[in-house]
Amino acid sequence: MIYSQIEDILNGFPTKNFKRGEVIYSEGEAPESVYFINFGLVGLFYIAQSGKETFLRIFDDKSIFGHRSYFAEENYHGSSIALKETQIIIVPKKECDAICEQHPQLLKLLLKQVSKDLASAELRISQLQDKSSEQRIAESLWFLKLRSPNQTWTRKEVGEYSGSSHESVARFLTKAENLGILKKEGRDIEILDEDRLLNFENVKK
Amino acid sequence: MIYSQIEDILNGFPTKNFKRGEVIYSEGEAPESVYFINFGLVGLFYIAQSGKETFLRIFDDKSIFGHRSYFAEENYHGSSIALKETQIIIVPKKECDAICEQHPQLLKLLLKQVSKDLASAELRISQLQDKSSEQRIAESLWFLKLRSPNQTWTRKEVGEYSGSSHESVARFLTKAENLGILKKEGRDIEILDEDRLLNFENVKK
DNA sequence: CGATAGATTGAGAGTTTTCAACCGATGTGG
DNA sequence: CCACATCGGTTGAAAACTCTCAATCTATCG
C-alpha cells in the first residue's frame, strides 16, 4: 500500500480549514479521530510544566497525524497546530477502525511510519547530549528548510526544534551569514552552502 | 491479542543465551531477525560520533525487540546489549513475515507498542531541555528501579539514560542519601522516599 | 592478592541560557 | 491613514549549570 491510496479511500470525507496558529487538537485530549492533510503544514508541540515548548514533529501535504495516540490508546501527548493555511480531513474513530479492518496493509504502512519516527526521536535524544547547540541549530535549519522550503520558520520554531533558545538561533544566523553560509532575507533565510552548514563545527574558525 | 500469546506462537523456536555485556546486534546492521526475551534484560544503546553513549530503551522478560528496524525497513539505529544473563528467541525474518501474516492482531499490538515508545522518546526530548540534570537523574533512577528492581544499575547507565555524566549521578546519589531519600548499598541503591525523589527540585534545600 | 572496573569528590572551564534593552516590521482599530 | 500594540529579531553582559579532568578510593572477580 502506498500513501496516495489513502487519499483515494478518504475521498469524499468532509474537510476543515485551519489558519496559521490555530490548534487542531490539544495535549491531554482523548483521540476521537485521525487526521489527513490535504494541503498545508502542521506542527506537533509539547509544552512542559515550565512553559518551555518543544517542536516534536512536522506533518505536510498528504500526511496522516493523530494516529500515534489513536493506536497507543493514549491521550494526545502534544498539541498539533497549523503552521500555515491547512486543509484537513478528519476521520472519526469509527471510520478509522473500519478502514483499518478493510485495509490490513494500512496497519503495516503506519507501523513503518511510526517506527521511523521512533528512530528519529531517539537520535534527537542522543544529539541533544552529543552535539553543540550550533550544530543542532544548523541541522534543524537544514531539516526544516528541506521539509518546507517556502515556509518562513521563526527563530523560536527553529529553537524549539533544535533544543536551544531563540536568541542562540539569532546569534547563529548572524554568524553563519557573516561566513557566507546563508543569507537572511527579512525573516526568511536562504541556505547558500549546505555542506558548510552541516559541517559547521569544522568551519567555525 | 495479548503478549502471552506470542510466547505460545514462538514455543519451540531455538533459544540463545547471552551474558552481561554481550552484544545481540550492532548499530548499522541490517535486521535479519526479530527477538523475543524468554528471561533477562536487554538495553538498546546508541553511540554517537564523539563516543558518547545514550541508553535508549530497556527490554525485559517476554519483550519483543529488534522490531523497530524490521518494520521501518532500516538498519539498526542502535546496539542491543544484554544487561544480565538473558535468554532470547531469535525469529528469522521469513518466519516473522509468516507470523505477521497469520496473526494480523500482532501488527496492531506492535503498532501500539511502538506508538507508546514514540511518546516516551518525545517526552524525553522535552525533558532534556526542561528539567535540571538532577531531576532527570531522579526520574531515571525511579524508572530503572521500577523496570528492574533487582538490577544493580551503574552510575554510567543511569547517566546515559538521564542524559548526564556519571559524575553528576554520583553527586546526586550522595546528596539524596544525605537527605534520607535513598540509601546506597554497595553499588546498588534502595529508594526510601519515592515522593521526595520525584519532587527533588522542591526538596533540594 | 592483584588487577580492573566502578564510584567519589574537588576544582576549573566552557557552553548556553537568561535577562534586558532595543529595533523593526506588521497589523489593527480609531 | 496614522498611532499604537504586538510580535519577531538582535545583541550584550552576566549568571548558571553541568561537564571535563584528575586524583583517589572501593568493590569485585579471576
Give backbone dihedrals phi and psi of A42, rounded to 5 degrees, phi first: -130, 140
Q: Do B77 and A123 touch (CB under 8 A)?
A: yes
Tell me: the pLDDT tens digits for A145-160?
999 999 999 999 999 9
pLDDT of residue A205: 42
Q: Is B184 helix (H, G, I), strand (E, B) or coil?
A: strand
pLDDT of residue A202: 63
pLDDT of residue B6: 87
pLDDT of residue A50: 86
pLDDT of residue B129: 95
pLDDT of residue B205: 43
Please report where in the chains the cell 489513502 appears, as a residue: A6
Which of the four pLDDT bands, split at 50, 70 and 90, describes residue B148? very high
Q: Give the nearest partner residue to B111 out of A69, A110, A125, using CB atoms.
A: A110
Rg, C-alpha atoms of chain A: 18
Q: How far is the CA of A156 from the C1' of D4 (A)?
A: 25
User: A133: which chain B residues are within 8 Å (Cβ-Cβ)?
Assistant: none
Examine the pLDDT at B171 and tell me if it is beyond 50: yes
Residues B114-128 have a mean pLDDT of 98
* Most confident option among A3-12, A67-76, A177-186: A67-76
In angstroms, the CA B108 to CA B114 distance is 10
User: A108: which chain B residues are within 8 Å (Cβ-Cβ)?
Assistant: 71, 107
Question: No. of H helices and E strands in chain A?
Answer: 9, 10
pLDDT of residue A186: 83
What are B's interface residues with A at a Cβ cutoff of 8 A?
A: 46, 48-50, 52, 54, 56-57, 67-69, 71-74, 77-78, 104, 107-108, 110-112, 114-119, 121-131, 163
In angstroms, the CA B7 to CA B5 distance is 5
Examine the pLDDT at A132 and tell me if it is beyond 80: yes
Closest residue, by C-alpha, to the C1' of D21: B167
Q: Do B114 and A114 touch (CB under 8 A)?
A: yes
Buried b / exposed e along B7-16 (16+ C-beta atoms within 10 A): eebbeeeeee
Nucleotide of closest approach to B168 (CA, C1'): D18
Mean pLDDT (chain B) is 94
Mean pLDDT (chain A) is 93
Cβ-based neighbours of B5, under 8 Å, separated by 6 or more? none
Task: List, in order of start, the domains of chain B with CATH numbers.
Answer: 2-121 (2.60.120.10), 131-203 (1.10.10.10)
Please report where in the chains the cell 506462537 appears, as a residue: B9
- What are the distances in angstroms from CA A60 to CA A41, A76, A77? 5, 19, 20
What is the percent of chain A where pLDDT is above 70? 98
Examine the pLDDT at B187 and tell me if it is beyond 80: yes
Residue with the larger pLDDT of the pair A11 and B129: B129
Q: Do B56 and A122 touch (CB under 8 A)?
A: yes
CA-CA-CA-CA torsion sign (A113, A148, B75, B21): negative
pTM above 0.85, yes or no: yes
pLDDT of residue B21: 94
Examine the pLDDT at A170 and tell me if it is beyond 80: yes
Closest residue, by C-alpha, to the C1' of C5: B154
- Number of A/B CB contacts below 8 angstroms equals 132
pLDDT of residue B203: 62
B83: left (phi over 0), alpha (psi -120 to 50) or beta: alpha
User: B54: which chain A residues are within 8 Å (Cβ-Cβ)?
Assistant: 122, 125-126, 129-130
